[in-house]
Amino acid sequence: MTDIDIIRLLWIRDEIAIEELEINYGHYCKQISWEIVQNREDVSECLNDTWWKTWCSIPENRPDSLRAYVARITRNLSLNKIIHNKAWKRGYGKISVIEQEVGDLIGEDAISRMIDRDDFVQRLNGFLEKQTRTDRMIFVLRFWYMDTPREIAKHMGLKEKNVYNTLYQMRKRFRVYWEQSGKEDTVYEKT
């Protein structure tokens, strides 16, 4: 069944749409959630919540890409699950590693402050547009899918050392890009 068919079923509130979502995107969303929470019960809960949230949100939204839409929902629910479980105290270390790397990207002071999300996304997209396709893929696999450098190297057929080097160079370039594009205009103190 195509995305358009599934969205149409969701639009008319046909429960077969949930089954089709699970058939078409279950494995993909399970992978995304597993990379973040690394716990079977939590993955199962995130997937169920993904289908429910998709069911509830589609009448208001008509996503261009259903795959990207459910992936974003799954990722956000999985990150929220980690926060809810106080993940860093229970051995889930990925989120703290990513947080450290993001701190390297935009500066530790910005991590402790609230960033205007739309402006941040716009600047990040502007930066990524100027990178090579390979560099963009490495960046997205690391910071969106939270793949380890080893997983990225295997997936892309690169040496792990090259992935580490690319990520290091991209963090340096992004930091400069961030500072030159008016970082101070986009960061606001928490209230």
**CATH number of the structural domain spanning residue 28:** 1.10.1740.10
Tell whether 55 and 116 lie within a shared domain.
no
- For residue 177, the tally of other CB atoms under 10 A from its CB is 19
Helix then strand count (H, E) for the chain reads: 11, 2
Q: Which of 72-86, 104-118, 152-166 comes out lowest in average pLDDT?
A: 104-118
Instruction: Enter the tokens of residue 126.
Output: 């502007």
Find the domain containing 46 and state its range.
3-89
Tell whether 115 and 56 lie within a shared domain.
no
Q: Is the pTM for the entire model greater than 0.85?
A: no
Tell whether 81 and 120 lie within a shared domain.
no
Task: List, for residues 8-17, the tens digit of each pLDDT value.
Answer: 898 888 899 9
Tell whether 150 and 182 lie within a shared domain.
yes
- For residue 42, the tally of other CB atoms under 10 A from its CB is 21
Tell whether 80 and 98 lie within a shared domain.
no
Tell whether 32 and 13 lie within a shared domain.
yes
Give the span between the Cα atoms of 29 and 46, in whole angstroms: 9
Question: Which of these three, 56, 89, 122, is where a domain ends?
Answer: 89
- Angle, nearest 10°, between helix axes 16-37 and 66-84? 50
Residues whose CB is less than 8 angstroms from the CB of residue 3 and which lie 6 or more positions away in sequence, other chains included: 65, 66, 67
**CATH number of the structural domain spanning residue 164:** 1.10.10.10
- Angle, nearest 10°, between helix axes 40-57 and 66-84? 130
Task: List, for residues 86-135, the tens digit of each pLDDT value.
Answer: 544 544 445 455 555 665 565 544 444 445 666 777 788 888 899 999 99
What total of structural domains would you count in the chain?
2
Tell whether 182 and 99 lie within a shared domain.
yes
Higher pLDDT, 157 or 125: 157
Nearest 5°: the CA angle 84, 33, 60 is 85
Tell whether 143 and 58 lie within a shared domain.
no
